[in-house]
Structure 1
C-alpha cells in the first residue's frame, strides 16, 4: 500500500454498520490523513463526519498507537474532547476512526477576531478538557495543543487530534521516533515546550504540565493575536518567548493567570484543576458585567 495514499472524491469506506463516502481531504499528519465524509447508510445516514485513516503500513508500531488513540477517544465522555462515533478497516489493512465534524478550528475563528467573552468561553472549556485528561483514571497528555487542533462549533470548543497522545503511566520512550517524524513541514513549530525539547535531548517523558505550557501559548495568541514563542532553527533550540501584553480592562488579570502557565520549569506551572477554578471565577464575573451591559453573555 502506498503510504502517500490520497483517497479520491466518492471513495467508499465501510464499518460494520455504516458506509461512508469521502468528500474532501481535511488534513494530513505523520501517521494518518483526515477526510470529510458523508454517512450514506446506517443510523447516522445523512450526517457529515471527520474520518481519520491510518496510512503508515511500514510502521506497525505506529498502527498500535493509532488504535490506542481510537480506543481512548471511544472511552471519553467529555464535551470538550473530540467525540468518536465509529471505526473500521479500509482494504483489510488500514484502520480508520469516524469522529464528529466541527466546521471550524480555533485558527480560523481567531482570524475573525471573536469577542472577549467568546475567548473566555473557549479558555474555560479547554481547561476543563485538560482537567479531565489529568484525572487519575485517565492520565493522558495530548502533546500537540495548537489552534488547528482545537475545533469550534457555535460556542463550543473541542480538543481533537490525539495522534501524539501518551498515557502518563507509560514512562517508556518508545514513541520518541514517532514524535520526531511528526514534526515535519506540516507541524507548526512555535508550540514547543521546554519539556518536549528536553525529551528530544534524552530527558524524561513530559507530564501534563507540558500541555499547560502549550495551552498558555494558545491563550496568549488568542488574547493578543500573536504567538509569543520566537521562531526556532532546530527543535532542540532553547525556548525563547517575546514579551506580550493583553489590552483592555481584563488584561492585567489575564496576564496574571497566563504567565505562570509559561514558566520554563514544569513544577512551577499550576495544575489544570487550579487554573480552571480561577478562570471560572473570572469568567462568571465577566459574564455578569457583559449581561448587565448588553443583556447577553456571548
Structure 2
C-alpha cells in the first residue's frame, strides 16, 4: 500500500474534497494522515485525521462502530466515511477512507513519552470511569473494543477519549482472535495463550491504562506485579481495583458494568475491624497479616479450641477475617492480596466480618 503524497485530494460521495498533508502513523490497518477538509472556495477548513484502510473489513467495522457511538464526547468523532475512486476499468483505484476529528493533544502514549503525564488518583478514577461508560454502551450490545492501549486513547483538554475501533467486533462471533491483531504486549495471558477475547479482557486493558496514568510509564502485560502495584501512589482501595482488573481471568471484573460497580464501591466498603460475632463457634476464620506476640500456630489452635474452622485462604465459606499488621513488602499500606480478595467478596455480597487481634483474643477466651 503506497503512501499518499502531500497535496493528494480525496473526495467523499457528495464531492467534498479533503487534502492530505502529512503522514501521522502507519501500520497493519493502513495509514493515517493529517489534512484539512476544503471549503467550497478551496481553502483549508477543519483540521482532520484521514485514515486510509488496508482492509475492507476494518473499514466497514470501524465505520459501523463510529456511527454507533456518534455523539459520545469520550469517543473520537467520526466525521465522514467514503470510497475514493480514481481511474476506470482495470486501472481503477479504490481507497476506503475514514475521516476523524484531528486530536491535536495526541495520545496517552505521546504524553508519557513527553514526560508530562502523572495524574492524581482522583483524576485517574474519574477519567477511567468515563472511559468505562463508553465500554458499557459497547458491552451492552455485545461489542468488544479489543485494543485499548495508550496509543489508541487520546487526550482532549486533559480528558481521555477512546479511538481506533479497527479491530472491535461482535462478541457473538466466538472465532479465535489472532494475537497479531490484538497487540500481544497489551493482551492478558489467557488471550496470548489462544483463548477468545471477552469483555473482561477489555477491562484488563483499562486496568493497564490506569497503571500508566498513575505511574507516568506505559504498562504492558509484563508490568503487572505486586511490586508495580505497590509502587503506585494511590489508596489501597484503588490498588485493589487495579489488581482485580489486571488479574487472572477468574478474578477479573466480568465487563464494564462490573468494573464501574467496583469502582463506585471503593468508598462504600469499610475494611476496618467491625462488630465481632458473639462467638467463634461455627465460624470459618482466615488470618491476615502479622499478629503481635501471637504465633500463627498458637492463634490457629485457640480458634479451633473455640469451635472455629481455620482456613488458609479466603473461600466462599469464609465468615470472619482476623486482621493483623501488614508484613514487609506488602502491596498496600494496610491491605495485602488476601484483603484485596476480601474486599471484592464483600462487594459482591459475601457476609464477611473483619475483626482485629484484640477482638479475636477476647472471643477465643469464650466457651
Q: Does 1:119 align with 2:124?
A: yes
Matched with 1:66 is 59
User: Which residues in structure 2 correspond to 1:12-23 (within 5 Å)?
Assistant: 12-17=9-14, 18-23=16-21
Give the match's secondary structure for 1:81: coil
Deviation of 1:155 (Å)? 3.3
- In the alignment, the residues of structure 1 paired with residue 226 and residue 52 of structure 2 have an alpha-carbon distance, to the nearest angstrom, of 38
Establish whether residue 146 from structure 1 lines up as the match of residue 149 from structure 2: yes
Can you give the 5+ residue segments of structure 2 that lack an aligned partner in the other structure? 86-92, 268-367
Shift in Å, 1:108 = 2.2
Q: Check if 1:172 corresponds to 2:175.
A: yes
The answer on 1:87 being equivalent to 2:85 is no
Instruction: Measure, in 1, the Cα distance between the counterparts of 2:8 and 2:19.
Output: 5
Unaligned runs of 5+ in 1: 56-61, 232-238, 284-298
Q: Supply the distance in 2 between the matched residues of 1:260 and 1:89 (Cα, whole angstroms).
A: 43
Deviant stretches of 4+, over 6 Å: none
Deviates more, 1:73-82 or 1:9-18: 73-82
Contact 1:126 1:159 in 2 (8 A): yes
- Counterparts of 1:30 and 1:106 in 2: how far apart (Å)? 21
For 2:232 and 2:246, how far apart are their aligned partners in 1? 19
| Distance in 1 (alpha carbons) for counterparts of 2:20 and 2:250 | 42
Does structure 1 residue 210 correspond to structure 2 residue 201?
Answer: yes
Q: Does 1:275 align with 2:268?
A: no
Query: Any idea what the Cα deviations from partners look like across 1:42-77, whole Å, max 9, x if unmatched?
Result: 6x971111111013xxxxxx4134212212211213
1:23 positional shift: 1.8
**Structure 1 residue 211, shift from structure 2 partner:** 0.7
**Distance (Å, rounded) in 1 between the aligned partners of 2:173 and 2:81:** 25
Structure 1 residue 166: Cα displacement: 1.5
CA contact (8 A) 1:143 1:164 kept: yes
TM-score (norm 2): 0.62
Structure 1's 153 and 166: CA in aligned 2 closer, same or farther, altered over 3 A?
Answer: same
Q: How many residues are aligned here?
A: 252
Higher Rg of the two aligned structures: 2
Aligned: 1:6 with 2:3: yes
Q: Distance in 2 between matches of 1:125 and 1:80?
A: 7
Distance in 1 separating the partners of 2:211 and 2:224:
14
Q: For 1:153 and 1:228, how far apart are their aligned partners in 2? A: 21
Q: 2:216 aligns with which of 202, 225, 243?
A: 225
User: Higher relative contact order by CA 8 Å / sep ≥ 6: 1 or 2?
Assistant: 1
CA contact (8 A) 2:65 2:165 kept: no
Output the aligned Cα RMSD: 2.8
How far has the Cα of 1:208 moved from its partner? 0.9
